[in-house]
Structure 1
Amino acid sequence: MRQQIARVVSSRLFAKGLLVLALVVPGLGVAPVLAASALAQEQARPAATGDAPAATHPPGAAIASAHALATQAGIDTLRAGGNAFDAAVAVSAMLSVVEPISSGIGGGGFFLLHDARSGKDVFVDARETAPESATPQAYLDGQGELDRDRATNGPWSAGIPGLPAALVHVSSKYGRLPLATALAPAIRVAREGFEIYPRMEKGYASRREVMERYRGTRAVFLADGDPPTTGEILRQPELARTLELLAQKGFDGFYRGETAKKLLAAVKQEGGRWRADELAGYRVKEREPLKFDYRQWHVTTAPPPSSGGVAMAQILQVLEGWDLGKLDDAHRRHLVVEAMRRAYRDRTIYLGDPDFVKVPVARLTHPAYAAGLRATIHPDKATPSALLPGQPAPLEDDETTHFSILDAEGNRVSTTQTVNLLYGSGMVAPGTGVLLNNEMDDFALRPGTPNAFGVMGFGANAPAAGKRMLSSMTPSFIESDDTLAILGAPGGSRIITQVLLGILGYDAGLDAQQVAALPRYHHQWMPDAISAEPGALPADTIAALQAMGHTVSPGESTWGNLQTVSWDKRTNTLEGGSDPRNPVGRAEVLPAGK
């Protein structure tokens, strides 16, 4: 019955150009009726003809994040008179408290903002930066090979954090409430505690050996004498104090003074080398977002040092050359995979920090370049990745987080933030509660050598003092005459394809929750295989793809944690979608005046 529902829905959606089945992934605890609801909602929605006037302002606000406490913090901030940017600070800070497995003020992120009053879009780059000590030679062992432990664990793996500076910047430049007001919910929960959930417990178990090397980490996570267990309350009074200093003193509350001294001392004690001027010299950067059109959609997304926007522009512009709705399932997937393959090849070769290397963004995202890539795709045969010049780039980790916000004024925020690996470097700086990132491993520390997740890089992504490591984070807005959607996801190199499939889902008419629940498949050039979640590809499609020469790995573990909100401007309704793969996430709509 599940397969029959999927096929009925997929046939309707493919007629609109959707490239993924609206089949709920088994084991996620979501009934297959969600797939069937695509048909029911299509029939039940109010008629929205082209003659109906589009609303000019949303009828309220909507927030989707990876934890219910973070969503609630954002809602409370809006109710206190804040705008979407104040709410973003509140949500980001709360995720830093309740999702140490994924993000925190010891890490960084990207904030894609739209100011409704001015109509301006801005990309706030709060990616971590390399300290001067982080030369490629510093990460080699006695045999000249990459020292994997130093690259992923402890102080040498940590870049200078960017998220605290982003919270201050977004609050002071775009918010309307005091920073202390937006940070208050996170401070309270850090002090009073929150309930540990299964992903935290499992993640700690996988990183326990590293976590328990460090005195500061033991003080937080072994405070009761044993490792975190689901249902226990985790309290972080030192993190609450650090957030209070940030609230009181702004930038100087983290990058100078008491907190900075403790961070520097902790890094030095564990053998690392950060300098006070490197901390005090950190700055967020405002960049022009990357913009392009796909069919009726105008897409606003992340520029370098994210690779996501460039790759997504390439993939969608390549696909625009076919009438996908007229193709059978296997050939649609084949074309999507071939477009993915070529974009990920370019990601590995060309992309890095644009302040340090010349990134050919204009060429890579030009429709003529997409047409050239399209011409290399055989309609019935897979292109072996080995025939595309370059070096292989397998998977990255998926421990990142995302949230999406739209307020009643039309301001919008799409934010992705991370500490990289599960629990970052594993090291909490004593006296601060700050869990440091391990983003240095996202650099090409040894050219041509895979990092912890098999991702390779070369000179464009080599470390240098003050340089930002390449990312796949892809916070995005998409807008048509009828619909606005805000979306993004964690997932390492799979972030890009999650957002891609989400855009295709919206293009097919799915609502926000259906987009968040869509099964996923992925190809990233190397390894030369299609990865797929359980049920994402029908058996006959898999067989057809294999006959074309594709290697298919179906039934992999589920991945990602997509968070999205949307506004139907014709019916003037809001929807939120929180990924059912993450049971602690929540999307909430706040009607105007509530």
Structure 2
Amino acid sequence: MRVALRVLLSASLLYAGTTFTATPLQAAPAAKTAAAHPPGTAIASAHALATDAGLEMIRAGGNAFDAAVAVSAVLSVVEPISSGIGGGGFFLLHDAKSGKDVFVDARETAPAAATPAAYLDEKGELNRDRATNGPWSAGIPGLPAALVHVSKQYGRLPLKTTLAPAIRIAREGFEVYERMSRGYAARREVMERYPGTRAVFLADGDTVEQGELFRQPDLARTLERLAARGFDGFYRGETAKLLLDGVRAEGGQWTVQELAGYRVREREPLRFGYDGWEVVTAPPPSSGGVALAQMLQVLGPWDLAKLPPAERVHLTTEAMRRAYRDRTFYLGDPDFVDVPVATLTHPAYAAGLRASINPDKATPSDLLSGRPTPLEDEETTHFSIIDAGGNRVAATQTVNLLFGSGLVAPGTGFLLNNEMDDFALKAGTPNAFGVMGFDANAPAPGKRMLSSMTPTFMVSPDKVAVLGTPGGSRIITMVLLGVLGYADGLSAQQVAALPRFHHQWMPDAISIEKNALPSDVIATLRGMGHTVNEPQEASEGRRSSDTWGNLQTVSWDKRRNVLEGGSDPRNPVGKASVQVSAPRR
């Protein structure tokens, strides 16, 4: 595996023009025994202001969970293109004192009015505009409830402290970056339908442009109410009224009861072994953990390090293909459907999947199903944290597509998500990411839509790693490649820079980043029967798909007692930093 991964890593030189702002500790002499505690705090996020806010909480006496609230809130301010308090997310937490891992599910929920029939046009076809734009595309937000829950249950500092950086940045403004201005241009037509959105993004009479100062005073006031009143500061009272009025004014049908009735869920994470590591990851309603367990257990018996690169990519692709097929048919909200997690993640089931792989030839995807068979932009964000006490957080949050639904309820200052498109609104019809679903992921009142978000921990006797990424349906395979990179001994920054390839069962093709695979490897894969889709030039109004994801990761080498951070070089405004603690007495 080491040789093959380093071949792929060489392609990361494409991104050498970006700046990596991590500040890893100097390597300490190798210790005979593992350190009991990290030497400080490491935080990696998609924006430097968010990383700095997390470190500010550590200096104020907070822990990783306080830092997570601050980082999440600041990302909600500075990355409206990717996430926000109008969306949701997953927080994977490790409490060092108790040794407990917990998964905080803050996924959005379906309004009662959002039946499958509500998303069909007069011909019975999926109304794509209603599914992805405006009030009908939005689920009840979960992220504000998660901030309150994580702060109250696991943090040390009050919300007024942890939300203060986000409030300050919303009021005073931040500099618009290229990705944000380009994303606005792609979604401008939809966003300018709504007066509340125009009031935020056209406040100076013109569209947001790279380099200008972007202020959000309404969002600052919304966050102040959340800081002062907690859950009731968002889901009841003034913010709730503004939100409900704005949704209804655009034809939506949210109710007071379903907004006030939203609750986060604490779930038991999935855990399994791979190559000497314990992998701790997301359970349903994320599809990521189940798929990750399947893929790694399918690949486990192969000595990948001894295989030629094309054969390694072939086997990895076949593992991806089978996991995504199962995702389509079996996974959904475990509060509503019986998800066969134990079966899908069992080593014996993985052995059966492995036995169906031809080591020399691609398996056509339509041969894997006994029933009729019926792509990533810059959405979603992730951050990773380890603190000096050994607490850790892997958190992925989103509003789904670029700028979510495009709808800001007047006076609230934040965009609503368009997560309803992650349901199987019409069975067998692909969503915006090209993945499809059936009854297990059909909408129902209060149900949580299936997600690909895969916040993950890796733990071995010598090392701990925290990782995750945005990327729509490609999230799971990017985390897979990151896990394989850490298992091969790569550093945090090398893992963040790894080139990427992906297969999701349908469509039946391997997609790759530009220059991710050498031409001879691509030729060999095609000779084995694979379709390999190389990046195409961006069409008008669309960005190029040359690069994917925005992986953020931190690691702790317990033998050397060294912390490292890795921030994806594809995103020049991201930042990974290490803050050294005072020596323990």
Q: For this structure pair, what is the TM-score category when the shorter chain's length is used for normalisation?
A: over 0.9
Match in the other structure for 2:32: 52
> What is the CA-CA distance between 1:24 and the residue it aligns to?
3.7
Match in the other structure for 1:277: 257
Is the counterpart of residue 350 in structure 1 residue 330 in structure 2?
yes
Q: Structure 1 residue aligned with 2:152, among 168, 172, 185?
A: 172
Alignment check: 8 A CA contact 2:287 2:453 kept: yes
Gaps in structure 2 of 5+ consecutive residues: 536-544
Match in the other structure for 1:5: none
Alpha-carbon distance in 2 for matches of 1:326, 1:266: 59
1:369-406 deviations in Å (ceiling 9; x for gaps): 0000000001111101111115669x455410000000
Alignment check: 8 A CA contact 1:399 1:491 kept: yes
Match in the other structure for 2:546: 557
Is the counterpart of residue 253 in structure 1 residue 233 in structure 2?
yes
Match in the other structure for 1:508: 488
Q: Structure 1 residue aligned with 2:47, among 64, 67, 72?
A: 67
Percent identical pairs in the alignment equals 74
Match in the other structure for 1:573: 562
Match in the other structure for 2:134: 154
Alpha-carbon distance in 2 for matches of 1:462, 1:451: 12
> What is the CA-CA distance between 1:455 and the residue it aligns to?
2.0
Match in the other structure for 2:539: none
Alignment check: 8 A CA contact 1:19 1:333 kept: no
Alpha-carbon distance in 2 for matches of 1:515, 1:30: 17
Alpha-carbon distance in 2 for matches of 1:568, 1:47: 12
Alignment check: 8 A CA contact 2:2 2:305 kept: no
The within-5 A match list for 1:12-23 is 13-14=3-4, 18=5, 21-23=8-10
Match in the other structure for 2:59: 79
Alpha-carbon distance in 2 for matches of 1:385, 1:20: 28
Alignment check: 8 A CA contact 1:448 1:457 kept: yes
Alpha-carbon distance in 2 for matches of 1:404, 1:427: 29
Deviates more, 1:338-347 or 1:395-404: 395-404
Alpha-carbon distance in 2 for matches of 1:28, 1:462: 40
Q: Structure 2 residue aligned with 1:243, among 208, 223, 227?
A: 223
Match in the other structure for 1:376: 356
Alpha-carbon distance in 2 for matches of 1:489, 1:176: 27
Give the secondary-structure state (helix, strand or coil) at the position aligned to 1:429: coil
Alpha-carbon distance in 1 for matches of 2:378, 2:333: 21
Is the counterpart of residue 28 in structure 1 residue 15 in structure 2?
yes
Match in the other structure for 1:407: 387
Alpha-carbon distance in 2 for matches of 1:248, 1:171: 13
1:342-394 deviations in Å (ceiling 9; x for gaps): 0010011100000000000000000000000000001111101111115669x
Q: Structure 2 residue aligned with 1:519, among 499, 508, 513?
A: 499
Alpha-carbon distance in 2 for matches of 1:392, 1:415: 33
Give the secondary-structure state (helix, strand or coil) at the position aligned to 2:569: coil
> What is the CA-CA distance between 1:452 and the residue it aligns to?
2.4
> What is the CA-CA distance between 1:527 and the residue it aligns to?
1.2
Deviates more, 1:209-218 or 1:142-151: 142-151
- Could you tell me which amino acid in structure 2 is paired with residue 514 of structure 1? Q
The within-5 A match list for 1:11-410 is 13-14=3-4, 18=5, 21-25=8-12, 27-30=14-17, 48=30, 52-389=32-369, 395=375, 397-410=377-390
- Could you tell me which amino acid in structure 2 is paired with residue 99 of structure 1? E
1:83-116 deviations in Å (ceiling 9; x for gaps): 0000000000000000000000000000000000
Alignment check: 8 A CA contact 2:2 2:488 kept: no
Alpha-carbon distance in 1 for matches of 2:209, 2:430: 33
Give the secondary-structure state (helix, strand or coil) at the position aligned to 1:435: coil
Match in the other structure for 2:449: 469
> What is the CA-CA distance between 1:508 and the residue it aligns to?
1.1
Give the secondary-structure state (helix, strand or coil) at the position aligned to 1:428: coil
Q: Structure 1 residue aligned with 2:581, among 586, 589, 592?
A: 592
Is the counterpart of residue 449 in structure 1 residue 429 in structure 2?
yes
> What is the CA-CA distance between 1:148 and the residue it aligns to?
0.9
> What is the CA-CA distance between 1:544 and the residue it aligns to?
1.1
Question: Which structure 1 residue ranges, 4+ long, deviate > 6 Å from structure 2?
Answer: 44-47
1:476-518 deviations in Å (ceiling 9; x for gaps): 0001111100000000110001111111111111110110001
Match in the other structure for 1:8: none
Match in the other structure for 1:38: none
TM-score for the superposition, normalised by structure 1: 0.93
Give the secondary-structure state (helix, strand or coil) at the position aligned to 1:525: coil
Alignment check: 8 A CA contact 1:64 1:576 kept: yes
Aligned residues: 569
Match in the other structure for 2:538: none
For the aligned residues, what is the CA RMSD? 1.8
Alignment check: 8 A CA contact 2:197 2:406 kept: yes
TM-score for the superposition, normalised by structure 2: 0.95
Match in the other structure for 2:516: 536
Alignment check: 8 A CA contact 1:65 1:585 kept: yes
Alpha-carbon distance in 1 for matches of 2:477, 2:372: 20
> What is the CA-CA distance between 1:45 and the residue it aligns to?
6.8
- Could you tell me which amino acid in structure 2 is paired with residue 574 of structure 1? L
Match in the other structure for 2:572: 583
- Could you tell me which amino acid in structure 1 is paired with residue 392 of structure 2? R
Alpha-carbon distance in 2 for matches of 1:464, 1:452: 20
Alpha-carbon distance in 1 for matches of 2:37, 2:373: 46
- Could you tell me which amino acid in structure 1 is paired with residue 578 of structure 2? V
